Structure 1
């Protein structure tokens, strides 16, 4: 959602980086462009003023203007200010340190994604924190709201409070608390009712539920696509309810990003989660520093590695590492790598997280490359026989025609895939000549790649690492040769 703002800021900072020495007027001109970019991104005016004044004051200092790399120094100051605007260096976490059941009350307007976010957070607590969770819908106004939460509960494997027709929100909250205590529930999530607009009835209902349940966390769910109005909604709720955090939904949309950048500064409450899609696992803990890095085109390697760790099966990574040690890499291995890339969010997601890949991502979009490329390559491999996948050299002209027809592609597409596989196979053989993965790691220093690239796991490039699993390890696929028809 920050693509437009990122492009604008990238252009401003490219000008600064291109100059040797900077004058105070150069910095002020750049900050004027930053101000315009933030306002066009729908960031609240008071927030923009405070941000630009803070950055300008630091950037025009003599220590910056006389430094060896003044342009880079200004970018660092802007990055630090962005991190501060989004919530600071610390990553906000849910406060679950209380006697069970710990209550999380979800509030927000109707249509903001409150019910879906409730199920996503419950799934996150269950799978990543080992908590026994239960959900209860207090929405008696919206048709089928309680049934929706029940269905979502079944999908994510989290218990929901049985529905009793005719009960009011306070009665449901009381019953939910009793049921949670009897079942030894760790965390109880209350999905409160919403309205199409902020009104006193909505606020009174939330206050009554809060008085009964004494929530440890009260999370405001806001649709980031509503732009500046989302900030107004947050201000209204913050004035009535004791909010502890914000959940921004639809962060994968094409909104201008103003709501996300303004929310923390306007409400004083941290953004704790960001919804990134419709799937049950499409929610992320909000890391201010990582988001700031993405906005400024610095990538987000930490999140990329975390996605790799979640998406890649250890057994598959170890099996691939062993085959790489032996210099082997067939079509089945390539197919595994392509599917790992899909599981990690596709080409666009991966490119957006890689440092310095902003322009490459734009080039991919211009050339028509998208995630359909991965699906098309998977279809081609799927149209091969088991023997052909194990030994691609069997694919003569007649077989290629059959594979192309079976996958709905052209023979030249099959040839491109075979060429890409051949290049990757050569890379695997080079690794074997260098003494396998251990030999390759030794080239990067005594400590392997661990010292140079912290957080990639494994020993050097050993099993469980494989370079970046899902990105082809040491033999990353060159997808630029596999363009969309």
Structure 2
């Protein structure tokens, strides 16, 4: 996410290395590089100029504190200004009403329907009954796509395939929601390849007819300034409540995320990456600023882990580790939990410092497939008792999984090393005792 922008900003900060004070001369060169990096990232030029002027004014004459390098001080200033630019604080979605009605708008191809499914899944986890409504009456297979997504997340989809009146479908859906005690209605509307009057009139009529409590505009973040311009046009007609940025796992330069709040004056409420139904996050301006600056986002990583990992399963695994009985069934269970957390490269970028190290490394979500194939080629007894897997068994497992004996041997060795490490950590206890033992390990 935003690798190119992060790299260029990091290069700009290095201009101040070795300086004892941020001065007019050295800050001018740095701010120029920052502005260039933002414009290259497809940030609106006026927005880029405004924010870099603020950075310059804030930075000029700042004394560098003891043990704090000028570059570090400027990173702090840039972080604060980027956070302000993107809205300062998280903005929650409005789900008041009985039912609460959420209208989803945007161009075709922006990811509206997929986001609708993700949002339904997200809100369902809060314990509310959700209804998805198929109001895209133009795009072939749009209704089928929404039904597939609804089935994946366990949410009912209301559709009238023969009806070509989007307003009537939406009104009928609201009545159906009331009759079936649905507390949230998500209305997926039609998009077009470009803005046209028919589309704008139809979406405006749908909004007027159902009076949504929340209207979200979905934009493809990969389209940069085009996304910002489209959002501005939609807002003039719809006066939407918030923005959703999709496809942030693609080759996104960051322009939409950094410009849209300032230009449209509407908050970004959600970000979305990948196709998995769990790949949706609330938008935190300060956390996004940290990720853009290569500082990671540990808080979001922990939150994702908490959502993905089952507490009972975690306790069971911990007991297995303590008894030195952690096996391949436990291991593959943990893999499944990790995969639920979302795009692997996106998760790695949340770890401070790692995003810079991994910027040129391709991390494929399919990286776990050979490991899973090897484990699933084992018998139930072998998975439960890894120590019994000898040479002949390894050859059979390699043949059954379509991998090499070397790959099986590597997995067995890595699994053995991991079990030893996990066992050692579990024996260290917790709190101050664990810290004391960790300090003594290197002595």
- Scaled by the length of structure 1, the TM-score of the pair is 0.82
Shift in Å at residue 347 of structure 1?
4.3
Question: In the superposition, relative to structure 1, how do residues 414 and 14 fare at CA in structure 2: closer, same or farther (>3 Å)?
Answer: farther
The one of 390, 401, 404 equivalent to 2:395 is 401
Alignment match, 1:39:
39
Is 1:384 the counterpart of 2:375? The answer is no
2:3/2:359 contact within 8 Å kept: no
Superposed counterparts of 1:285-304, under 5 Å? 285-304=282-301
What is the CA–CA distance in structure 2 between the aligned matches of 1:18 and 1:415, rounded to whole Å?
Answer: 49
Alignment match, 2:230:
233
Q: Any stretches of 5+ residues in structure 1 without a counterpart?
A: 450-485
Superposed counterparts of 1:201-280, under 5 Å? 201-280=198-277
Shift in Å at residue 421 of structure 1?
2.4
Shift in Å at residue 222 of structure 1?
1.1
1:59/1:65 contact within 8 Å kept: no
1:119/1:152 contact within 8 Å kept: yes
Please tell me the root mean square deviation across aligned C-alpha atoms, in Å: 2.7
Alignment match, 1:426:
420
Superposed counterparts of 1:34-433, under 5 Å? 34-64=34-64, 68-88=68-88, 90-97=89-96, 99-127=97-125, 129-163=126-160, 165-345=162-342, 347-362=344-359, 364-365=361-362, 370-431=364-425, 433=427
Equivalenced residues, count = 438
1:443 aligned counterpart, secondary structure: helix
The one of 412, 436, 443 equivalent to 2:434 is 443
Q: Any stretches of 5+ residues in structure 2 without a counterpart?
A: 439-443
Comparing 270-279 and 372-381, the one that deviates more: 372-381
1:99-148 CA distance string (max 9 Å, x none): 31222121222222222222221222122x22222232333333443444
Comparing 386-395 and 420-429, the one that deviates more: 386-395
Question: In the superposition, relative to structure 1, how do residues 195 and 397 fare at CA in structure 2: closer, same or farther (>3 Å)?
Answer: closer
What is the CA–CA distance in structure 1 between the aligned matches of 2:129 and 2:330, rounded to whole Å?
Answer: 38
What is the CA–CA distance in structure 2 between the aligned matches of 1:241 and 1:79, rounded to whole Å?
Answer: 32
2:159/2:169 contact within 8 Å kept: no
2:15/2:29 contact within 8 Å kept: no
Comparing 230-239 and 274-283, the one that deviates more: 274-283
1:195-235 CA distance string (max 9 Å, x none): 22223332222222222212221111111222211111011
Shift in Å at residue 20 of structure 1?
5.0
Is 1:23 the counterpart of 2:14? The answer is no
- Scaled by the length of structure 2, the TM-score of the pair is 0.89
Shift in Å at residue 298 of structure 1?
1.1
What is the CA–CA distance in structure 2 between the aligned matches of 1:284 and 1:312, rounded to whole Å?
Answer: 16
1:324/1:431 contact within 8 Å kept: no
2:136/2:191 contact within 8 Å kept: yes
Shift in Å at residue 328 of structure 1?
4.1
Question: In the superposition, relative to structure 1, how do residues 363 and 421 fare at CA in structure 2: closer, same or farther (>3 Å)?
Answer: farther
Question: In the superposition, relative to structure 1, how do residues 218 and 75 fare at CA in structure 2: closer, same or farther (>3 Å)?
Answer: same
1:198 aligned counterpart, secondary structure: coil
Alignment match, 2:441:
none
What is the CA–CA distance in structure 2 between the aligned matches of 1:291 and 1:318, rounded to whole Å?
Answer: 32
Shift in Å at residue 53 of structure 1?
0.7
Shift in Å at residue 270 of structure 1?
0.7
Shift in Å at residue 49 of structure 1?
0.6
Question: In the superposition, relative to structure 1, how do residues 346 and 209 fare at CA in structure 2: closer, same or farther (>3 Å)?
Answer: closer
Question: In the superposition, relative to structure 1, how do residues 79 and 206 fare at CA in structure 2: closer, same or farther (>3 Å)?
Answer: same
Shift in Å at residue 364 of structure 1?
4.6
Question: In the superposition, relative to structure 1, how do residues 414 and 173 fare at CA in structure 2: closer, same or farther (>3 Å)?
Answer: closer
Question: In the superposition, relative to structure 1, how do residues 20 and 351 fare at CA in structure 2: closer, same or farther (>3 Å)?
Answer: farther
1:329/1:428 contact within 8 Å kept: no
1:325/1:431 contact within 8 Å kept: no
